[in-house]
Amino acid sequence: MVATSHDVMPDIELYQPTDEANALDLANTLGSDGWILAGGQDTFGWLKDRNKNPSAMIELTQIDAWKGVREVDGGVEIGAVTTLTEIAEHPLIQSQYGLLATAASKVASPQIRNVGTLGGNLNQDARCWYYRRGLDCYRAGGNICYADSPEGLNREHALFGASRCVAVSPSDTAPALVALDATMVISSSAGQREVAAEDYFVGPARDIVNMTVLNEGEILTAVRLPSEWANAEFYFEKVADRNVWDFALVNIAAAMKVSGDTIEDVRLACGAVECVPRRLQSVEDAVRGQQRSEQLASRAGELATEGARPLNYNHFKVPLMANLVKRAVRA
């Protein structure tokens, strides 16, 4: 007698459209049953752990229109299916938008960056292990946040913006795009809409299930970087437990227009401290028009962490965030 294992992957239909219209029609027809797949680095983990069970997948890697870097009126457009390695190594991104090139180069490992895409890095789901293990937390439809409990393991979790869920935004490229004032191009069978990068990500107070504004049937197809921030002074730093593979404990992205020692304009965003990339507008207002100094940098760090509410095991994130902001302003 031959033993039969029941722990096998369920049947999943695979669609591999080669043009935009077909992909968008499939996304519209399949709705929530259709899992959008690009590099698949996040997808495979969900399937391996049996915590997501889509009936169909729509693979986007054969749609050339959603790949590559191209100059457009007012800036540069990057297809959402472009790999992180291509972005990190592209001469135009390196020369004009080095902030994004650096952020992309810090994601995970070279092997993952070779297949992982910009869209995948931006749209990945929360990394909280309670949620990923299939527990019935708020984000999974339950009525508890296991991380935000007396016994909860929450070293990597949020300092700000908690509302039932304390998971953080796990993307390295997201804060860079917020700092660059990027625009997200969202496509569906009904047409296209554009959303500022800062408004693309949503917190649990607005939507406990989703981390972006994407509606059913919509696909992020491109990201546009405005020429206004091309060739600015950039700073990106990521602190993680390991230099490769790991997600950030805290990261900082800064775009600054500097004349002499004066900061004429600035945009700053931190990752891994809130469920969305956290725009640091109070810091921007405090340093804009000011001359760089150690005192100004220290004040920026203090302002950045005002209102932080650390959990049991992530108090270290407060001085870490303050120091990263200080370094960015000081450059």
Per-residue model confidence as pLDDT tens digits over 68-80: 999 999 999 999 9
The pLDDT of residue 147: 98
Is 51 inside a domain boundary?
no
User: What is d(CA 162, CA 164) in angstroms, rounded to the nearest whole number?
Assistant: 6
* Interval 93-103 mean pLDDT: 98
Domain coverage including residue 287: 67-330
Nearest to 275 by CA among 133, 137, 124: 124
Q: Is the pLDDT of residue 89 over 70?
A: yes
Mean of all residue pLDDT scores within the chain: 95
The pLDDT of residue 7: 61
194 and 145 Cβ atoms separated by less than 8 Å: no
Is 38 inside a domain boundary?
no
Is 171 inside a domain boundary?
yes
Q: Tell me the residue ranges of DSSP E strands in the chain.
A: 13-15, 34-37, 56-59, 69-72, 75-79, 183-188, 191-196, 219-226, 233-239, 250-259, 262-271, 278-279
Is 320 inside a domain boundary?
yes
- The CATH number of residue 223's host domain is 3.30.390.50
Tally the domains of the chain. Answer: 1
52 and 124 Cβ atoms separated by less than 8 Å: no
The count of C-alpha atoms lying within 13 angstroms of the C-alpha of 136, restricted to the half-sphere facing its C-beta, is 3
Is 89 inside a domain boundary?
yes
The pLDDT of residue 102: 98
Confidence of residue 190 (pLDDT cuts 50, 70, 90): very high
Is 260 inside a domain boundary?
yes
Confidence of residue 31 (pLDDT cuts 50, 70, 90): very high
Q: Is the pLDDT of residue 11 over 90?
A: no
Q: Is the pLDDT of residue 275 over 80?
A: yes
Is 125 inside a domain boundary?
yes
The pLDDT of residue 168: 98
User: What is d(CA 145, CA 126) in angstroms, rounded to the nearest whole number?
Assistant: 13
Q: Is the pLDDT of residue 103 over 90?
A: yes
The pLDDT of residue 47: 82
Q: Is the pLDDT of residue 227 over 80?
A: yes
Share of the chain above pLDDT 90, in %: 91
Is 104 inside a domain boundary?
yes
The pLDDT of residue 44: 82
* Interval 144-155 mean pLDDT: 96
Concatenating the DSSP letter of every residue in 268-322 gives: EEEESSSSS-EE-HHHHHHHTTPBP-HHHHHHHHHHHTTT----TT-TTHHHHHH
Lowest mean pLDDT among 4-8, 213-217, 227-231: 4-8
Q: Is the pLDDT of residue 3 over 60?
A: no
Confidence of residue 8 (pLDDT cuts 50, 70, 90): low
The pLDDT of residue 49: 74
Confidence of residue 20 (pLDDT cuts 50, 70, 90): very high
